[in-house]
Each structure stands twice: as C-alpha cells, then as structure tokens.
Amino acid sequence: MDSKRRPIHGGISRNPNSTSKPAMAFHFLRALSHIRLTTRRGSSLARRTLRIRRAAYASMACSAGTRRAWSRALLRKLRSPAPRRGASVLPRRAARTTSSPDTDLRQALALRRLVPGGAAMEHCELLEETADYIRCLNAQVWLMQAVVHGLGDLSN
C-alpha cells in the first residue's frame, strides 16, 4: 500500500485528496440546489447566508460520517430544533481566558470550545478530533473556492 494513502492513528488519512472531498462536494452542491429551489423571492441576504453556512457545515459533517465525535456533535446541533433568535448553531471562536496561568490548560479549553463536541473529550482524543476537523475545514475551503471559481467562469 502506498505510504501516502495509508491511514495513520485514529483513521486520519495523510492524503489531502481523501474521499471526503467528493462526498462533501456532492452534499454541498445538492444542498445549494435545494436552497436555490426553495428560497422565496425577496428573502433576506442574511437568511440565505445562514442557510448556505448551515449547508456547508452539514455537508462537511456528513462527509466525515459518524466515525468522528465532532461530526456527530455538529450534526446533532444542526438537526436540533431552531435555536432562539441570536443563538448560534455554528461553532464559536474561543474567548481568551486569563484566569489560568497554565498555557496547556488554556489551549485545551480553547480547543474544546472550537471543536464541536470537544467538551466531552479526553485530551488525546481532542487532539485527534481537532486534526481531523482542521483537515475537513481545509477541504471545505477548497470546495468553496472551487465553487466560486466555477461560478466566475460561468459569468465570463
């Protein structure tokens, strides 16, 4: 087996072009098509933006499957009833905490806030989940750039 394709500990693939990109692209493009077909005329830009953002996170979590705790936590958040107005369904940025002098503890707390489902993870699992979450976020950025470039080609 090629060393680039051999999974390392925790099932994280070293190959950046792993099979999650096509699955993510399929789910995201299908969701975008559904959004386009179901969006009412005159709906606000903010509402459409939120729907696209939710579709992007859902496609990322679906492509990762249930093998990862972060994807299960994110799907659970997205599938739960609509949050109160002003509450965010998406992961939030970590707030700086200055109460603890131990930087490792502060960094672990920040990761727990950034990674969906991170609050319930042991430290080693948190690091593995963070690595996979970052890999999927990179794939999501790649996908959105490809969509934008594809739409740019259509307008020329």
Which token pair is 133? Answer: 């979450």
Task: Read off φ and ψ for residue 29, nearest 5 degrees.
Answer: -65, -35
pLDDT of residue 86: 55
* Nearest partner of 64 among 2, 135, 117, judged by Cα: 135
Domain that holds residue 107: 20-81+101-155
Indicate whether 46 belongs to any domain: yes
Identify which of 128, 127, 90 has the alpha carbon closest to the alpha carbon of residue 110: 127
**What size, in residues, is the chain?**
156
| Residues in the chain, pLDDT under 70 | 1-19, 82-101, 153-156
Question: Does some domain include residue 42?
Answer: yes
Q: Is 68 exposed, middle or buried (0-12, 13-18, 19+ CB in 10 A)?
A: buried
Domain count, the chain: 1
SS3 category, 34: helix
CB 77 within 8 A of CB 58: no
Q: Are 111 and 129 in contact (CB under 8 A)?
A: no
CB 116 within 8 A of CB 73: yes
Residue 72 domain-assigned?
A: yes
Residue 135 within any structural domain of the chain = yes
Q: Is residue 106 part of a domain?
A: yes
142-151 b/e (C-beta count within 10 Å ≥ 16 → b): ebeeeeeeee
Q: Residues 74-89: pLDDT tens digits?
A: 999 998 876 555 555 5
Residue 93 lies in a domain: no
- pLDDT given for residue 11 in this prediction: 40
**Tokens (6 digits) for 80:** 């739960």
pTM to 2 decimal places: 0.70
Question: What's residue 116's pLDDT?
Answer: 93
Q: Is 70 within the bounds of a domain?
A: yes
Q: Please check whether residue 63 lies inside any domain of the structure.
A: yes
Task: Tell me phi and psi for residue 13, to 5 degrees.
Answer: -85, 140
Residue 105 is classified by DSSP as H
